[in-house]
């Protein structure tokens, strides 16, 4: 791998990434509260060109071994950390975060320093580092007690603790460093192992998520998709254990927070994008099906649940046969958790009962699928919460909606998530303006449990429209004007803001300034 060349300063790159931000100072003065001395700081707490160039030169000098430059560089990033803290205290947006994926090449000298310096230069005071994704975890190969592959697998790096390093480097700059974790998406690397096949989600057609046409989530690279998705059964004991063991290892590095992504099922294509019958639900995996049947409260209920799930429907003949199978329960209707049947249900005809029971079993099956998501998140967040480390759930505002006679296939019941977990709604709607983005955020504000901290995630690029999305400053301004109670948000993603830097790091190419 080559080393970072910091001997040159690419004015074009700096000009694109920061000088545009300086122009925002005159465009967005309304971001500042009345009475604030807005002239002291740029509205987004960004650095100016002179300061950036000076810091880049000092960093280049200390990487070449200049002790004086190292001393001055460290003093400068400390001073900037204090300045950032003052600026954010004065700014209505107290926390502005950036989402980022790191690469093996980032172990090279100066890579993380350069990346975090750029993030600070853009005015961010939080960074969300992808720590578990695609079946890989950012832990040293020699200290990885998990079921997942270490991100760094090159010879000679077996003891390199990149996560601990980035947390330390971030804090030195005044950045809070959060671990961004995939959740129900364990990745293909996990799914392809023979011992893990039993842990995968499965629908009533016998398919796992890797055998269906899914719509992957928004990639960290602009316009890219993620071909490595593989979803696990949230009820399976093994995946709960595997995830907890991994969480405990990550938490030893003491990140400033943990954010859980993919707290949902996959989004399917075409007619399967709407779950409208029981066989569409991801409840046929080993753990989920077993947990479903355990919710029965009598033998008649269990047998009818079994038939409904197996056949995908319930007939009047099924109702009659089950009555005859369990004569000891002739006086009571079929029961399962949450069911409150009418007292005269057993007096109805088999055909009437079939309609009632089918409707009840459908709603119950959907609720069971959703509860798996809620329970997995609660279990995942518990170790961090016990340590007093903040947690957050990343979700799509529309993924919990009914669609005609069915439900969005993602079945992401974020309105049932605990208010002890901060909400990070991915507000990615596109309509050419900020209106549809605001509608998504307002929906979350309306349905979130009382007392929930809401920290919207916006996608886009500063000073540039992208894919029918307005520039980030336009989106941010719209949020401030429409929802002044929101004081924290984040932007997806570093790779969108700095595509050249991201590509250079991914392929170990020297980064020139």
Tens-digit pLDDT profile for residues 233-259? 999 999 999 999 999 999 999 999 999
pLDDT in tens, 469-492: 999 999 999 999 999 999 999 999
Distance between alpha carbon 64 and the CA centroid of its chain, in Å? 38
The answer on pLDDT for 226 being more than 70 is: no
- pLDDT over 80 at 513, yes or no: no
Q: Is the pLDDT of residue 19 over 70?
A: no
Q: What are phi and psi of 84, to 5 degrees?
A: -60, -45
Confidence of residue 30 (pLDDT cuts 50, 70, 90): very low
Pair 101, 133: CB distance under 8 Å: yes
Question: Is residue 279 predicted with pLDDT exceeding 70?
Answer: yes
User: What is the distance between the alpha carbons of residues 260 and 49, in angstroms, rounded to a whole number?
Assistant: 36
Alpha-carbon distances, residue 238 vs 199, 244, 386 (angstroms): 7, 10, 22
Residue 361, exposed/middle/buried by CB under 10 A (0-12, 13-18, 19+)?
buried
Structural contact between residues 473 and 27, judged by C-beta atoms closer than 8 angstroms: yes
Q: How far apart are CA 368 and CA 374, in angstroms?
A: 10
Confidence at residue 42, expressed as pLDDT on a 0 to 100 scale: 75
Is residue 219 scored above 90 in pLDDT? no
402-403: strand order across its sheet:
274-275, 406-408, 402-403
Question: Nearest CA to 102 among 63, 141, 128, 140?
Answer: 128
- Residues near 329 by beta carbon (within 8 Å), at least 6 away in sequence: 298, 299, 300
**Mean pLDDT taken over the chain:** 90
User: Lowest-pLDDT range, 18-32, 146-160, 175-189, 383-397?
Assistant: 18-32
Residue 167 scores a pLDDT above 60:
yes
Tell me the residue ranges of DSSP E strands in 95-198.
Answer: 95-100, 126-133, 136-137, 149-150, 176-182
Span 113-132, mean pLDDT? Answer: 97
Mean pLDDT of 142-160: 96
Phi and psi (nearest 5°) for 127?
-135, 135
Of the chain, the percentage scoring pLDDT greater than 90 comes to 85
Per-residue pLDDT tens over the stretch 417-461: 999 999 999 999 999 999 999 999 999 999 999 999 999 999 999
Lowest mean pLDDT among 136-140, 384-388, 466-470: 466-470
Token representation of residue 128: 């969300």
């Amino acid at each position: 791998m080559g080393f970072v060349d910091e001997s040159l300063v690419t004015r074009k790159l700096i000009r694109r990434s920061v000088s545009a931000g300086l122009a925002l100072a005159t465009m967005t003065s309304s971001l500042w509260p009345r009475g604030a001395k807005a002239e002291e700081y740029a509205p987004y707490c960004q650095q100016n060109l002179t300061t950036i160039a000076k810091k880049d030169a000092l960093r280049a000098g200390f990487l070449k071994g200049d002790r004086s430059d190292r001393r001055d560089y460290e003093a400068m990033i400390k001073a900037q950390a204090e300045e950032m803290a003052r600026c954010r205290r004065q700014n209505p947006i107290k926390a502005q975060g950036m989402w980022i994926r790191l690469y093996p090449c980032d172990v090279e000298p100066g890579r993380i320093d350069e990346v975090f310096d750029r993030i600070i230069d853009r005015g961010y005071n939080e960074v969300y580092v992808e720590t578990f994704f695609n079946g890989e975890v950012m832990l040293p190969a020699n200290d990885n007690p998990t079921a997942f592959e270490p991100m760094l697998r090159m010879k000679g790096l077996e003891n390199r603790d990149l996560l601990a390093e980035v947390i330390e480097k971030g804090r030195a700059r005044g950045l809070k460093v959060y671990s961004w974790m995939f959740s129900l998406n364990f990745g293909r690397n996990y799914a392809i192992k023979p011992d893990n096949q039993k842990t995968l989600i499965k629908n009533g057609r016998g398919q796992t998520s890797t055998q269906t046409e899914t719509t992957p989530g928004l990639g960290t690279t602009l316009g890219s998709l993620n071909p490595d998705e593989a979803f696990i059964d949230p009820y399976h004991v093994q995946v709960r254990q595997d995830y907890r063991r991994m969480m405990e290892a990550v938490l030893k590095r003491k990140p400033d927070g943990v954010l859980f992504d993919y707290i949902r099922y996959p989004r399917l294509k075409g007619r399967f994008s709407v779950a409208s019958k029981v066989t569409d639900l991801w409840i046929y995996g080993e753990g989920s099906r077993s947990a479903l049947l355990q919710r029965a409260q009598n033998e008649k209920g269990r047998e009818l649940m079994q038939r409904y799930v197996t056949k995908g429907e319930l007939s009047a003949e099924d109702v009659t046969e089950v009555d005859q199978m369990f004569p000891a329960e002739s006086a009571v209707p079929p029961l399962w958790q949450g069911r409150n049947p009418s007292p005269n249900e057993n007096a109805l005809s088999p055909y009437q009962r079939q309609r009632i029971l089918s409707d009840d079993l459908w709603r119950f099956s959907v609720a069971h699928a959703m509860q798996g998501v809620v329970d997995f998140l609660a279990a995942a967040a518990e170790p961090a919460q016990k340590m007093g480390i903040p947690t957050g759930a990343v979700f799509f505002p529309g993924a919990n909606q009914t669609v005609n006679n069915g439900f969005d296939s993602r079945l992401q019941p974020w309105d049932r998530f605990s208010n002890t977990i901060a909400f990070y709604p991915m507000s990615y709607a596109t309509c050419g303006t900020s209106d549809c983005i605001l509608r998504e955020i307002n929906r979350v504000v309306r349905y979130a449990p009382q007392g929930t901290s809401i920290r919207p995630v916006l996608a886009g690029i500063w000073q540039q429209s992208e894919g029918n999305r307005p520039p980030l400053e336009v989106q941010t301004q719209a949020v401030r004007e429409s929802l002044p109670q929101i004081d924290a948000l984040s932007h997806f993603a570093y790779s969108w803001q700095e595509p050249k830097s991201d590509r250079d790091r991914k392929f170990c190419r020297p980064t020139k300034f």
